[in-house]
């Protein structure tokens, strides 16, 4: 009988703990996420969707912009997972590299724009908590995390594009 009592108490306790966690989010990060998302959409409305589309089409022509500006804007504007739809501006041979860049940026973006990938915010917050406990600046961490993210997405985009070209040539040669 004691084990049934124990099971009942701990079963409800699990939901109590979940409720406390949820209330912490409601009074903590969720309002910040809503305001950031609203701000981003307001900027988009002020600029205009057509202008944004033209800027993305321009960026898609140049490798440096294709694997830095495009993934950054796609993740900030559309958030994860819709960010990958920016690939529609690219020819098929460049889509794998763009996807690789965009998917690699969904973690570093959380340092400044947590709404962009709120589901994975725990990764950044875990790192930030350790840095804070060690006595270091979270602002410096955010800047470094973001900059390293940009460098990584550029490298991954270029390398993936080269690999895609190499594989396409090999497949072309085999089909002849």
Confidence band of 134 (pLDDT split at 50, 70, 90): very high
Q: How many residues does the chain have?
A: 176
Is the per-residue pLDDT at 9 higher than 90?
no
pLDDT of residue 114: 81
| pLDDT tens-digit readout, 22-73 | 777 677 767 877 777 787 778 778 888 788 778 888 888 899 999 999 999 8
Query: pTM of whole model > 0.95?
Result: no
Encode burial over 25-47: b for 16+ CB neighbours within 10 A, e otherwise.
eeeeeeeebeebbeebeeeeeee
**Sign of the C-alpha dihedral, residues 38, 40, 42, 45?**
negative
Which residue did the predictor score with more confidence, 113 or 28? 113
For residues 112-131, give the mean pLDDT: 82
pLDDT of residue 155: 97
Contact 141, 107 (CB under 8 A): no
pLDDT of residue 133: 92
For the chain, give every domain's residue range. 48-175
| First-residue to last-residue Cα distance in the chain | 76
Is the per-residue pLDDT at 148 higher than 80?
yes
Using CA atoms, how far apart are residues 79 and 118, in angstroms rounded to an integer? 9
Q: Read off the tokens for 78.
A: 């559309």
């Amino acid at each position: 009988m004691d084990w049934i009592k124990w099971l009942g108490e701990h079963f409800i306790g699990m939901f109590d703990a979940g409720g406390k966690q949820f209330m912490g989010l409601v009074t903590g990060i969720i309002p910040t996420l809503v305001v950031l998302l609203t701000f981003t959409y307001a900027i988009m409305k002020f600029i205009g969707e057509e202008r944004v589309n033209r800027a993305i089409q321009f960026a898609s022509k140049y490798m440096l912009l294709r694997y830095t500006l495009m993934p950054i804007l796609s993740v900030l504007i559309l958030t994860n997972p819709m960010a990958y739809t920016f690939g529609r501006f690219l020819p098929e041979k460049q889509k794998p590299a763009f996807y690789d860049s965009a998917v690699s940026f969904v973690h570093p973006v959380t340092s400044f724009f947590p709404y962009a990938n709120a589901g994975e915010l725990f990764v950044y917050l875990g790192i930030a908590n350790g840095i804070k406990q060690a006595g270091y600046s979270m602002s410096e961490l955010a800047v470094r995390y973001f900059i390293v993210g940009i460098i990584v997405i550029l490298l991954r985009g270029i390398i993936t594009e080269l690999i895609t070209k190499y594989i396409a040539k090999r497949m072309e040669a085999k089909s002849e």
